[in-house]
Copies of this chain bind each other. A is one copy, B any other.
């Protein structure tokens, strides 16, 4: 399946300025040279699944609300990436068993704080991407993970409200604009005017973690029911911008967006 960003077809909630659309248009005209990230994957799937690999891991539909609440509560002990993993694994361990039971959730700890404090990709969608990759081999995982990332970037988060919240006040919802921990947390901190160590920020990240677990469960349940339809337009930075990129160049680069070299 070829996934390409439709330039000018503005993903909901993400601003593509004219400068960015022009870059995108140039990249799309470059065409086949940029197809690395859009290539067909069944051959890869067949090769890596050989030699004793178990793939896909068996999946039974899970309750998104229970996955969300488990992830919310777990955040306070293990933070985002492990909490999402536990939220999604818990019911599969009960209904399916192996390989979900023996896989060590603690191995995902590295995702917290955008790789242990670097503010890189938020650990919640990283953990979800691994689970989606385990459940849906080959082509399916790619559009589903891209859809999840775009949802994370565009949605005022958190959307999940804990049944047993550990902070009782109201907190703002903010749009991260991309899946980076630094920007996701930073934009929220600015809107809330609360520091990183505050109860509000902790409740916010726990609730975002729960939101990601909930949304991932919804996507996987749709897939299990045969109802999952890959969106027609998902972000493919390499195809749109000439190298792997977010949509919002100018939020970092300002008016001086570099132009990558073109051609083969």
- A-side interface residues toward B, CB under 8 Å? 30, 32-37, 41, 43-45, 47-49, 51-57, 77-79, 82, 86, 93, 99, 101-121, 125-126, 129-130, 132-134, 137-138, 141-142, 145-146, 149, 178-182, 185-186, 189-190, 193-198, 202, 235-239, 242-246, 252, 254, 258, 260-264
Contacts and interface: CB of A to CB of B under 8 A. Distances in A.
Nearest to A113: B244
Given A115-B129, A246-B119, A36 B79 contact: yes
A49 B113 contact: no
Contact of A238 (B48, B108, B196): B196
B264 A197 contact: yes
Q: Which of A79, A190, A246 has most B Cβ within 10 Å?
A: A246
A54 B37 CA distance: 34
B137 A108 contact: no
A28 to B, nearest CB: 13
A77 B44 contact: yes
B243 A115 contact: no
Given A34-B197, A116-B142, 20 more contacts: A30-B197, A32-B197, A37-B116, A37-B117, A44-B106, A47-B77, A52-B102, A53-B102, A56-B104, A99-B102, A106-B137, A115-B121, A116-B149, A117-B237, A117-B245, A120-B179, A130-B130, A186-B260, A195-B263, A197-B264
